[in-house]
Structure 1
Amino acid sequence: MIERLPDRADLAEFREQPGAIVELHRSINENLMSAESYPTQHSEATIVITRDSQGVKLFVHYHLYDDDVGLLYQETDPITRDNFAMIRDMAIQSVEAMGFILERIDVRSLPEQDRLDLLARLPAFGGRGR
C-alpha cells in the first residue's frame, strides 16, 4: 500500500548517497494530473527504490509544475526479495495508468559526475526539473 508522506516533498538526501539508489524510473513525458487539493496541471513522475540499513524502500514522487509542489508517497508494506518485483511492477503500472511514460535509468552505471548532475536536476531529489 502506498501512502503519502505529508512532511516530505522530495528525496534530496539521496543526492549525497547515490549508491543507496537501487532503481530509478522517471517519466519522459509531462502529463496533466490533479492530486489532492491541487488543480489539474502539468506533472512528472519518478519511482525511486532505495536500500539502506532499514531495508528496501519504494517511493513515488509527483512534481506538480504550476504549483511547484512535490508529492511524495512511500510503499508501506515490507519489501523482500520474494515480493520486490511484484511491488515494483505494481508501482510502475499504477504510474503508467495515469498516462506517464517511464524510462528506467541505471544510475549505478553512470559516471559519478553525470549521476550527480542527473540527481541534482530531478524534482524527486530537490531539483527544478524540466
Structure 2
Amino acid sequence: MRWDNLQNIVYVPVIALALLLLTGGYFMPDIRRAMIYQPRADRIEVAMEELAGHQRGMLHAKGKFLAFDASEAPPNLKALGVNLANWPSEDFLFDAAVQPNKHLRLRALPRPDAVRDMRVEARMYVADISPRGAVTSRGWNP
C-alpha cells in the first residue's frame, strides 16, 4: 500500500468528522431551544396560568391580590394554595406586585445560575391581571 492511500484513509474520516462538528455547531442553538429551553418555557407558562388562577381566587375571597417579592415567594405561594412539590422554582424566581393602576403584575425571573448553565434563556415571563381578575397580557419579555 502506498503512502498516498494511507493519507487518504486518515484524511477522509477527519474531514467527515470536521464537517459533522460544523453542522452540529450550526444547528446547536435550534437543538438547544427545542430540547431544553422550550419544555421549560412551556412549564413556566402553565405555572403562571396556575398562579394567576390562585390570585383570582384570592381576589374574589379577600378583595385584594397577594403581592410578594422573590425572597418571600415560597410561603406566599403556599398561602395561595400552590403545590410547591412540582413548582418550577429551580430555574425561576417569582414575584407579584400591585401596579399603580391596581393591576397585578406576575413575573417569572430566570435564576442567574440557570442562565449561566444554559438551562433557561435570559428572558422573563410577565402576566398582568386586571382588578376584575382577567389576564390582560402575558408573554415572554424580551
TM range (shorter): under 0.3
Bigger proportion of residues as helix:
2
Larger Rg: 2
Bigger proportion of residues as strand:
1
TM-score (norm 1): 0.27
